[in-house]
Amino acid sequence: MIELTFARIADVLGGHLILDPRDTAETTVSGTVDTDSRHIGRGDIFVAKPGAHTDGHDFVAAAAAAGAAVAIVERQVAAPISHIVVPDAVGALADLARFVVARVRAHGELRIAGITGSNGKTTTKNLLARILSDEGETVAPRASFNNEVGAPLTMLRVSDSTRFLVSEFGASAPGEIARLAGLVEPDLGVVLMVGMAHAGGFGGIESTFHEKSQLIRSVRPGGVAVLNADDPRVVAMAEIADERNQRVRWFGRSARADVRATEVETSAAGTRFLLTADGASMPVSLRVLGEHHVMNALAAITAALEFGVALEDCVARLETVELAERWRMQPLGSDRVRIINDAYNASPDSMAAALRTLAQITAPGERTVAVLGAMSELGEFAGEEHDRIALLAVRLRIQRIVVVGTEARRLYLAAIGEGSWDGEAVFCESAEDAYVYLLDELREGDRVLVKSSNSAGLRHLGDRLGESFA
């Protein structure tokens, strides 16, 4: 973070500064800001966020012992540390992030990209950050820091020497993207797709469209909207861009895309395609597993080109990326039994893409095994969407469908109803039951996909299987 005095931070937050005897109002701080005392080091700022199960105020003393310079709290504490009392710690995070980014932007060359979409945000964020990092200091979220806490924490890592900020914007409730993107007003906004992820929380696909479109409404006037030319709902966001005097750049596999992929070939080693952008064409070998990541790569390239990166450099840097993120199409195991751990998150679109990838990369004589858990946050659409995934798995001729957990049982029943009734579909009550079953069931030549929403916990099952068959 940039260097600020305690008094300045208190003023920005509208908070009450309570000084430790060792400090004054003009004492400065420039360390990392975090809500987890375990990540606090000397000179950092600890934010005591109340939670559903734990209260950050209980860890202020631990943060002080770890060397925190100051704490942001909602009530006065007895710990030996200067602290700033504010009405809302999470709101204070947002206020501080807004101030820090605006100040750096006013005095430097900071360029800001915002990314949203029902799927692919984290992969695209990582690919874009990889491209930009060779151009200058780049700040991007760790893991999926894209919510009301994670996004501001990422923004607060910006310093006077930062050239690029890549922000990922997720949403679990209406209005969240507008609030978060509004903190920084990106120079460029990327919308990947509008799908059924979180549809239960938004009330349907049209409400999801409205939420995702808020990123384009938050991009500064005169900025750039990077839009998926192959998704009709994303295409409709061009009208919003026009209203805000933004330039639109299209990516996709259709002829209308400014940055386009053709001749796509998928294998267990990754995906090859011919990239065409601004009249130039060149081959790309993407090592990140899954054909669906081609669109994420195109989005990252389009954004990077707008920030002045040469096309050849975009491709060279992307081709060094082997894994977009842990638990996202992560190859584990061995050539004997290959495990693909994609169980960090799941939506109907990402589940379908992962199943298609499994079918595409499995050679003749090898067996496809899909270990599937529940897709969360679908609300009233959960039943039909699990049915649809079961139908797809059967039509792709997945040879063994292992469904894990009570919340996913409908997927198992639907698979049986679609024809997987002769032992092809198996139901396990728990991840432990599935692990025991798979240790005995898997054999040489199996290609195994482990896929579920984070809440189902199958990512740890994938890790265990990867270790067992390494």
Read off the tokens for 244.
């805000």
Give CA torsion, residues 72, 76, 82, 84, to 10 deg: 40
Q: Is 468 annotated as a binding residue?
A: no
Q: Is 122 annotated as a binding residue?
A: yes
Query: How many CB atoms neighbour CB 93 within 10 A?
Result: 27
Q: Is 120 annotated as a binding residue?
A: yes
At 270, phi and psi to the nearest 5? 135, -150
Q: Is 138 annotated as a binding residue?
A: no
Question: Cα–Cα distance between 159 and 144 in angstroms, integer?
Answer: 21
Residue with tokens 């979220």: 141
Q: Is 146 annotated as a binding residue?
A: no
Half-sphere exposure of 417 (CA within 13 A, CB side): 13
Q: Is 119 annotated as a binding residue?
A: yes
Q: Is 252 annotated as a binding residue?
A: no
In the annotated binding site, the residues are 117-123
In the annotated binding site for ATP, the residues are 117-123
